[in-house]
Amino acid sequence: MGKKDPNKPRGKMTAYAFFVQTCRSEHKKAHPDEQVVFADFSRKCAERWREMSDKEKKIFNDMAGRDKLRYDKEMATYVPTGGDGGGKRAVKRKKDPNAPKRPQSAFFLFCGDRRGEVKKANPTFAVGDVAKALGKMWSECPADEKAKYDVLAKAAKEKYMGQVAAYKDKQQRELSGAKKPRKESSSSSSSGSDSGSDGDSD
């Protein structure tokens, strides 16, 4: 029976999964010593999700969209475990910390600029509350203001695509170089025969 490949990219998360993750972080921050009853917590999350408007859900939908892009890109370069599927180690290298970082969307660039403002105005806000406030601000943001972030996001994406191309090219060259066999047998064999020829030189 084959083992699960530990190098396979983490599966993409849904908008609801991001919402639950945010709720869990929010609850843990507010009640660090409280033991969470999973069934009750899940039910409350589901109820809260159903009551949220599409605008409130937008930030989580954006997170899911970004995660899908991350998953698709990682799967594009993923090398599955080879052989008979019997649990051999995968050839895929560990995630390179020097790999280009994915660019932020227009919405996340906007959040980066406004998050401090929201936190300062609402110091008691939890993570989920800040996310909701930012989502509302983005939905009410004037078109010309959004356009500014769209331009920044597009430029960041173009720069990222260029970095990815260069990074993959470098990886391919390094991989090709590592696979080239070294030929040293001829030099080692000739050096071993030198000592036997000196005695017959006269």
pLDDT in tens, 100-155: 888 888 889 999 898 899 889 988 888 888 898 889 889 888 989 889 899 999 99
Is the CB of residue 78 less than 8 Å from the CB of residue 87?
A: no
Question: What pLDDT score was predicted for residue 155?
Answer: 92
Question: Is residue 66 domain-shared with residue 124, that is, in the same domain?
Answer: no
Question: Is residue 117 domain-shared with residue 135, that is, in the same domain?
Answer: yes
> Cα torsion at 53, 54, 60, 66 (round to 10°)?
-170
Question: Is residue 151 domain-shared with residue 63, that is, in the same domain?
Answer: no
Residues in the chain, total: 202
Query: For the chain, how many structural domains are there in total?
Result: 2
Average pLDDT for residues 14-33, to the nearest whole number?
Answer: 86
- Judge whether 196 lies within some domain: no
Question: What pLDDT score was predicted for residue 197?
Answer: 43
Average pLDDT for residues 44-60, to the nearest whole number?
Answer: 90
Looking at per-residue pLDDT, the higher value among 152 and 74 belongs to: 152
* pLDDT band per the 50, 70, 90 thresholds, residue 58: very high
Average pLDDT for residues 180-197, to the nearest whole number?
Answer: 49
Question: Is residue 84 domain-shared with residue 107, that is, in the same domain?
Answer: no
Question: Is residue 110 domain-shared with residue 36, that is, in the same domain?
Answer: no
Question: Is residue 90 domain-shared with residue 108, that is, in the same domain?
Answer: no
At 161-187, the pLDDT tens digits run: 998 888 888 888 887 776 655 555 444
Quote the CA–CA distance of 122 and 75 in Å, as a whole number. Answer: 40
Q: Which of 132, 148, 138, 147 is nearest to 107 (CA)?
A: 138
- Judge whether 200 lies within some domain: no
Quote the CA–CA distance of 29 and 130 in Å, as a whole number. Answer: 14
Is the CB of residue 78 less than 8 Å from the CB of residue 92?
A: yes
Question: Is residue 112 domain-shared with residue 159, that is, in the same domain?
Answer: yes
Question: Is residue 111 domain-shared with residue 157, that is, in the same domain?
Answer: yes
Question: What pLDDT score was predicted for residue 172?
Answer: 84
Calculate what percentage of the chain has a pLDDT beyond 90.
13
For 183: left if phi > 0, alpha if psi spans -120 to 50, otherwise beta; the answer is beta
Question: Is residue 7 domain-shared with residue 82, that is, in the same domain?
Answer: yes
- Judge whether 122 lies within some domain: yes
Quote the CA–CA distance of 199 and 202 in Å, as a whole number. Answer: 7
Question: What pLDDT score was predicted for residue 59?
Answer: 92
Query: What's the CATH code of the domain at 156?
Result: 1.10.30.10
Average pLDDT for residues 185-194, to the nearest whole number?
Answer: 47
Question: Is residue 80 domain-shared with residue 108, that is, in the same domain?
Answer: no
Question: What pLDDT score was predicted for residue 191?
Answer: 47
Question: What pLDDT score was predicted for residue 178?
Answer: 65
Q: Does pLDDT of 85 surpass 70? A: no
Of the residues 94, 111, 129, the one at which a domain ends: 94
Looking at per-residue pLDDT, the higher value among 78 and 150 belongs to: 150
How many helices (H) and strands (E) the chain has is answered by: 7, 0
Query: What is the average pLDDT value for the chain, to the nearest integer?
Result: 79
Quote the CA–CA distance of 27 and 128 in Å, as a whole number. Answer: 10
For the record, the structure tokens of 78 come out as: 């993923």
Question: Is residue 70 domain-shared with residue 159, that is, in the same domain?
Answer: no
Residue 50 structural domain: 1-94
Looking at per-residue pLDDT, the higher value among 86 and 167 belongs to: 167
Question: Is residue 71 domain-shared with residue 106, that is, in the same domain?
Answer: no
* Burial zone of 53 (CB within 10 Å; 0-12 exposed, 13-18 middle, 19+ buried): exposed
What's the whole-model pTM score?
Answer: 0.42
Is the CB of residue 12 less than 8 Å from the CB of residue 70?
A: yes
- Judge whether 153 lies within some domain: yes
Average pLDDT for residues 52-60, to the nearest whole number?
Answer: 90
